[in-house]
């Protein structure tokens, strides 16, 4: 009895261990959290294979303590009542995708150190969040749009793809967490109303798209170490102080526009234009339309004279457009190709019509030219042109007819036959008992020509 009880206890303990440490892998590849019980069930899995979604009418607080890895994404969208989302144990997840969560105010993943992407959009109540400082590998994308976050101090990882920080009304300070924007990556800081300071002092190279636009409280950008601009760069705002003392090369496009007077900076930058390559545009005191994106072109070797309101390279996109007096080469080529295609279609249509009528006419002509068979004759005429015997057959069921001017005449069954050279006359008579039956009106007996007296 004691042995049985001990065995049962061991079995239960093993079962509990399996449940606690189970690898949860739904056959559908994902699971949707709808109730608090769903949260508890998922939290029992130390490793989850698939995606975890939260229903729009899911629970208000979700704590995934216990789970360590998620092979897929954790996604929440349009959950109007969700207030808190956290996991003290989660170390690895493919991505955290949150969209349109008006009540989410608390996010806490203190040991998370491995992920590919954060995609956060329209989280107006989110004012703070916590993440682990260490990270394994390179992050592909971080998007933080329309939140109430006051700081992004936790964002200290290298981003190999896209980093976009926009429309965050309470964000006051941002420091670029690496010293170079690599080729294939991009950084966007746009329309953050409270943002006052952007630390770009550690940037030594911009090799991918870089955009700082419409952050109206940012008045200075100090690129103390920037040497190379190899990616399309736009700086637009109310700047009063911009510096790039180490800049030696522009391989793409650099466009700078300020609503304040930065003429001194533009003059210093323009003085380097003979040594810089790429496209440069620097415009102070601009109050109207923003700088448009255009493909970089080469700088002119002849520097222009600064003016109080505008300073740009002499071969700027605006100047190039003003010199164009007609359609571009691409438009002309497209028109030529279109004309050739239309001409080919018209010619093909006309050829088809011509071929149709030509073969139709030939078919009708062949029908009219078909001759009658040589062995098909309506009558046999004599030498004087008078109708004579058409056909004479011997047979028991065939009437012998003579065609004359007076019409057909029936001959008697026995016809006198005149033999040449005085051999007298004989009579032809049809067999009285035919040996074979006939399947057609024409006899198989050879025709005999009969000559009648005039």
In this prediction the pTM is 0.61
Is residue 93 within 8 Å of residue 118, measured between CB atoms?
A: no
Q: What architecture (CATH level 2) is domain 18-126?
A: Alpha-Beta Horseshoe (3.80)
What confidence score (pLDDT) does residue 429 get? 46
Q: Is the pLDDT of residue 283 over 50?
A: yes
Give the residue-averaged pLDDT of 409-436: 48
Q: How many CB atoms lie within 10 A of CB 46?
A: 15
What is the separation of C-alpha 1 from the centre of its chain, rounded to a whole number of angstroms?
71
What confidence score (pLDDT) does residue 304 get? 35
Q: Is the pLDDT of residue 436 over 60?
A: no
Q: In which band, very low, low, confident or very high, does the pLDDT at 17 lie, cut at 50, 70 and 90?
A: very low
Q: What is the CA radius of gyration of the chain?
A: 51
What confidence score (pLDDT) does residue 337 get? 67
Q: Is the pLDDT of residue 181 over 50?
A: yes
How confident is the model over 121-141, as pLDDT tens digits? 999 999 989 888 777 777 899
How confident is the model over 260-273, as pLDDT tens digits? 999 999 999 888 87
Highest mean pLDDT pick, 11-15, 241-245, 355-359:
241-245
How confident is the model over 365-399, as pLDDT tens digits? 665 655 555 555 444 444 555 444 444 444 444 44
Question: Which residue's structure tokens are 């080729």?
Answer: 183
Q: CA-to-CA distance for 161 and 158, rounded, in angstroms? A: 9
Question: Which residue's structure tokens are 């260490």?
Answer: 134
What confidence score (pLDDT) does residue 370 get? 55
Q: CA-to-CA distance for 159 and 155, rounded, in angstroms? A: 10
Q: CA-to-CA distance for 129 and 296, rounded, in angstroms? A: 40
Percentage of residues in the chain having pLDDT higher than 90: 48
What confidence score (pLDDT) does residue 346 get? 85
Beta-strand relationship, 173-175 and 159-166: unpaired
**Least confident among 84-93, 113-122, 135-144, 214-223:** 135-144
Give the residue-averaged pLDDT of 75-89: 96
How confident is the model over 332-371, as pLDDT tens digits? 666 766 788 788 888 888 898 888 888 887 777 665 655 5
Q: Is the pLDDT of residue 433 over 50?
A: no
What confidence score (pLDDT) does residue 372 get? 52
What confidence score (pLDDT) does residue 309 get? 33
Percentage of residues in the chain having pLDDT higher than 70: 64
* All residues at 6 or more sequence positions from 343 whose CB lies less than 8 Å from its CB, including other chains: none
Q: CA-to-CA distance for 367 and 356, rounded, in angstroms? A: 17
* Of the candidates 139, 28, 150, the residue with the CA atom closest to the CA atom of residue 94: 139
Q: In which band, very low, low, confident or very high, does the pLDDT at 228 lie, cut at 50, 70 and 90?
A: very high
**Least confident among 123-132, 188-197, 431-440:** 431-440
H helices within 251-386, ranges in order?
263-271, 317-323, 329-369
What confidence score (pLDDT) does residue 286 get? 93
Question: Rounded mean pLDDT of the chain?
Answer: 76
Q: Is the pLDDT of residue 32 over 60?
A: yes
Q: Is the pLDDT of residue 319 over 50?
A: no
Give the residue-averaged pLDDT of 185-191: 96
Q: In which band, very low, low, confident or very high, does the pLDDT at 300 lie, cut at 50, 70 and 90?
A: very low
31, 127, 129, 399, 446 from 430: Cα distances, Å:
105, 127, 125, 11, 12
Beta-strand relationship, 61-63 and 180-181: unpaired
Q: Is the pLDDT of residue 292 over 90?
A: no
Is residue 93 within 8 Å of residue 73, measured between CB atoms?
A: yes
């Amino acid at each position: 009895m004691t042995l049985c009880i001990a065995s049962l206890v061991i079995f239960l303990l093993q079962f509990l261990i399996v449940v606690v440490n189970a690898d949860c892998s739904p056959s559908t590849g994902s699971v949707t959290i709808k109730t608090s019980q769903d949260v508890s069930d998922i939290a029992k899995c130390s490793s989850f294979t698939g995606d975890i979604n939260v229903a729009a009418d899911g629970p208000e607080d979700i704590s995934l303590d216990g789970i360590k890895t998620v092979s897929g994404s954790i996604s929440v969208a349009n959950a109007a009542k969700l207030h808190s989302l956290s996991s003290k144990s989660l170390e690895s997840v493919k991505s955290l995708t949150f969209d349109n969560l008006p009540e989410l105010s608390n996010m806490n993943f203190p040991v998370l150190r491995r992920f590919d992407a954060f995609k956060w959009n329209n989280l107006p109540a989110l004012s703070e969040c916590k993440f682990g400082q260490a990270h394994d590998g390179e992050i592909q994308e971080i998007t933080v749009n329309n939140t109430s976050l006051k700081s992004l101090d936790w964002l200290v990882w290298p981003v190999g793809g896209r980093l976009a920080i926009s429309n965050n009304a309470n964000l006051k300070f941002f420091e670029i967490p690496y010293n170079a924007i690599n080729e294939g990556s991009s950084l966007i800081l746009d329309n953050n109303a409270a943002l006052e300071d952007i630390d770009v002092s550690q940037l030594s190279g911009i090799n991918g798209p870089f955009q700082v636009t419409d952050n109206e409280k940012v008045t200075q950008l100090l690129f103390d170490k920037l040497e190379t601009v190899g990616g399309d760069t736009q700086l637009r705002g109310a700047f009063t102080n911009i510096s790039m003392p180490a800049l030696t090369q522009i391989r793409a496009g650099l466009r700078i526009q300020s609503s304040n007077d930065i003429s001194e900076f533009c003059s210093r930058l323009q003085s380097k234009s003979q040594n810089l390559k790429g496209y440069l545009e620097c415009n102070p005191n601009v109050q109207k339309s923003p700088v448009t994106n255009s493909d970089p072109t080469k700088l002119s070797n002849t520097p222009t004279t600064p003016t109080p309101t505008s300073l740009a390279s002499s071969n700027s996109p605006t100047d190039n457009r003003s010199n164009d007096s007609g359609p571009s080469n691409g438009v002309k080529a497209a028109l030529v190709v279109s004309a050739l295609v239309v001409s080919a279609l018209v010619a093909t249509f006309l050829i088809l019509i011509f071929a149709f009528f030509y073969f139709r006419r030939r078919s009708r002509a062949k029908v009219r030219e078909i001759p009658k068979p040589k062995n098909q004759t309506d009558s046999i005429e004599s030498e004087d042109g008078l109708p004579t015997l058409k056909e004479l057959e011997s047979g028991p069921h065939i009437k012998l007819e003579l065609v004359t001017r007076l019409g057909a005449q029936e001959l008697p069954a026995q016809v006198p036959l005149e033999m040449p050279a005085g051999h007298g006359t004989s009579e032809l008579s049809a067999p009285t008992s035919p040996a074979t039956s006939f399947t057609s009106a024409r006899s198989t007996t050879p025709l005999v020509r009969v000559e009648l007296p005039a």
